């Protein structure tokens, strides 16, 4: 469901008594590409029911490269509400029973849609809403007064209230827990469920999710919606002073599920392109990247076709949407594509090409990524099992390393460019040194060279070094792919002039040499 806030700083989680997961995260094959198979107004689709749409589209969804599809909540919901600026009801988030006849279609239609998708090779992931339900005339399922509802007792809920909490269930109660456990098994065995998306996970304990998944399937896919910024945590909670990433990783470690990358979403909304690297999927640690489910928008944050254009609580501006899809589909994490962007709003062909490039390169959830921050916009290299993809978004990257060739994808007049290159080796640190560089005026010393990491001989994108006054030397450790033949030089540069190190280029092979030196 919903909410907002800010980023950045690292916390040693064990100091706060947080258990770091020893078991692997449940991220499917690690190569999943997820389609959100509905939007806010899908329950109002006509004349076909939404389940009929999904059954009809199953072959195309598979052909477009999606490995999994996230279906709406499968339970009966007859709620309705309307204001002058919005309307809703029947989407499944105020469900009243586990009956499968809903405004998306009937029980038989749901079975048919799930079967068609699974037979096409697309895994079905159901949206599960354990935190809250309609509290109107449902007491036969969860009677009041037995501590099965949040308001039955003062402190008998595992997490935050949804709205005022009157419709919140107490998931810590054994009767409530077991009712959901049986229903999740039913979805798996009778309705083709291969994975689960947990709604509003701030409302119940991540350990509860883990216990459900232990029964549903240890190797099945799961993802949680933890939409909660640092400033929403109470005073005294360590997460209030942590980053978005830290809180998301904490939830994932305790649930052993992936988590929607709201750290990336926050930077997409509030930062520049270069700051998109601060999502979970751009973390230097692969254990953090592999838990990220990246997305541009969903049924809560984005616009939807139909009445009032859906909810659009936190939509990404249109001018950034193509770039955002280019980034999430060519970078680590598990990318999730919003149905209207794929099938309603003329963005489908771009997304198809991006999915093909991702699969061809063998990019996985924990693939390595190297950000080239000396360029404007976003420039990054993601290394898959077969190839690397170099992505440039709204960037001044013009000079290219030898052999890089032409982009395999150019879109939006060059605002999106992607190159496919041989798979890069793992990054290693090389200590660059420039000796006897006597700078004048406002000059700084840089390393520039043949690789993309060194600016491809473009002085504007050289790497600045740091002066060591004791050794009269400029130095910096720069990460380069291993076993790469490198040529480079020192330069002294200010805004107006560039002075080059005299003589031949310095040559070395990364990995063979860990230190390299240029001299003026």
SS3 letters across 447-491: EEECCHHHCCCCHHHCEECEEECCCCEEEEEEEEECCCEEEEEEE
Taking Cα atoms as reference points, which of 257, 250, 230, 249 lies closest to residue 241?
230
What distance in Å separates the CA atoms of residue 341 and residue 145, rounded to the nearest whole number? Answer: 45
* Helices 206-216, 174-190: crossing angle, 10 deg rounding: 40
Quick check: 164 and 195 in contact, CB under 8 A?
no
- What contacts 140, CB < 8 A, 6 or more positions away? none
What distance in Å separates the CA atoms of residue 279 and residue 294, rounded to the nearest whole number? Answer: 9
Quick check: 42 and 313 in contact, CB under 8 A?
no
Tokens describing residue 78: 């007859």
Q: Active-site residue numbers? A: 199, 225
Within 10 A of 118 (CB to CB), how many other CB atoms are there? 16
Taking Cα atoms as reference points, which of 289, 269, 370 lies closest to residue 333?
289
What distance in Å separates the CA atoms of residue 68 and residue 33, rounded to the nearest whole number? Answer: 6
Computed on alpha carbons and rounded to an integer, the radius of gyration of the chain in Å comes to: 26
Q: Indicate the SS3 state at residue 381.
A: strand
- What contacts 516, CB < 8 A, 6 or more positions away? 430, 431, 432, 433, 486, 488, 506, 508
Quick check: 345 and 323 in contact, CB under 8 A?
no
Quick check: 8 and 230 in contact, CB under 8 A?
no
Taking Cα atoms as reference points, which of 49, 137, 130 lies closest to residue 92?
130
């Amino acid at each position: 469901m919903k909410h907002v806030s800010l980023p950045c700083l690292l916390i040693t989680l064990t100091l706060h008594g947080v258990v770091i997961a020893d078991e692997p995260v449940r991220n499917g094959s690690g190569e999943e590409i997820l389609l959100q198979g509905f939007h806010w107004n899908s329950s109002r689709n006509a004349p076909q029911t939404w389940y009929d749409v999904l059954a009809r589209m199953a072959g195309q969804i598979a052909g477009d490269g999606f490995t999994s599809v996230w279906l709406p909540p499968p339970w009966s919901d007859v709620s309705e509400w309307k204001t002058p600026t919005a309307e809703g009801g029947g989407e499944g988030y105020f469900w009243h029973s586990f009956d499968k006849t809903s405004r998306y279609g009937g029980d038989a239609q749901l079975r048919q849609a799930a079967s068609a998708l699974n037979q096409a090779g697309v895994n079905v992931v159901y949206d599960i809403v354990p935190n809250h339900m309609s509290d109107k005339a449902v007491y036969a399922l969860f009677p009041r007064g037995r501590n099965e509802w949040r308001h039955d007792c003062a402190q008998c809920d595992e997490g935050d209230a949804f709205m005022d909490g009157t419709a919140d269930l107490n998931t810590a109660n054994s009767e409530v827990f077991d009712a959901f456990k049986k229903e999740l098994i039913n979805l798996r065995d009778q309705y083709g469920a291969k994975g689960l998306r947990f709604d509003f996970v701030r409302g119940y304990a991540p350990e509860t999710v883990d216990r459900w998944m232990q029964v549903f399937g240890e190797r099945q896919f799961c993802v949680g919606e933890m939409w909660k910024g640092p400033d929403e945590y109470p005073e005294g909670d360590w997460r209030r002073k942590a980053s978005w990433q830290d809180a998301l990783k904490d939830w994932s470690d305790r649930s052993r599920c992936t988590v929607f990358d709201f750290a990336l979403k926050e930077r997409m909304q509030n930062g520049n392109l270069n700051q998109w690297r601060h999502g979970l999927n751009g973390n230097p640690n692969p254990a953090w990247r592999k838990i990220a489910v990246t997305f541009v928008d969903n049924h809560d944050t984005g616009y939807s076709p139909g009445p009032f254009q859906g909810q659009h609580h936190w939509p990404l501006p249109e001018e950034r949407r193509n770039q955002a899809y280019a980034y999430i589909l060519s970078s680590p994490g598990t990318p999730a594509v919003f149905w209207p962007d794929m099938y309603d709003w003329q963005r489908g062909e771009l997304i198809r090409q991006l999915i093909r490039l991702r699969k061809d390169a063998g990019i996985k959830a924990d693939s390595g990524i190297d950000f080239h921050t000396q360029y404007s916009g976003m420039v990054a290299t993601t290394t898959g099992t077969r190839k690397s993809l170099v992505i440039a978004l709204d960037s001044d990257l013009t000079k290219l390393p030898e052999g890089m060739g032409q982009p395999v994808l150019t879109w939006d007049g060059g605002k999106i460019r992607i190159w496919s290159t041989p798979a890069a080796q793992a990054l290693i640190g090389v200590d660059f040194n420039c000796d006897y560089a006597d700078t004048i005026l406002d000059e700084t010393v840089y390393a520039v060279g043949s690789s993309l990491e060194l600016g491809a001989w473009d002085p504007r994108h050289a790497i600045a070094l740091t002066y060591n006054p004791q050794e009269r030397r400029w130095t910096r450790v720069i990460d380069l792919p291993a076993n790469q033949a490198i040529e480079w030089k020192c330069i002294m540069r200010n805004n107006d002039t560039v002075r080059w190190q005299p003589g031949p280029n310095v040559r070395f092979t990364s990995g063979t040499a860990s230190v390299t030196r240029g001299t003026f």
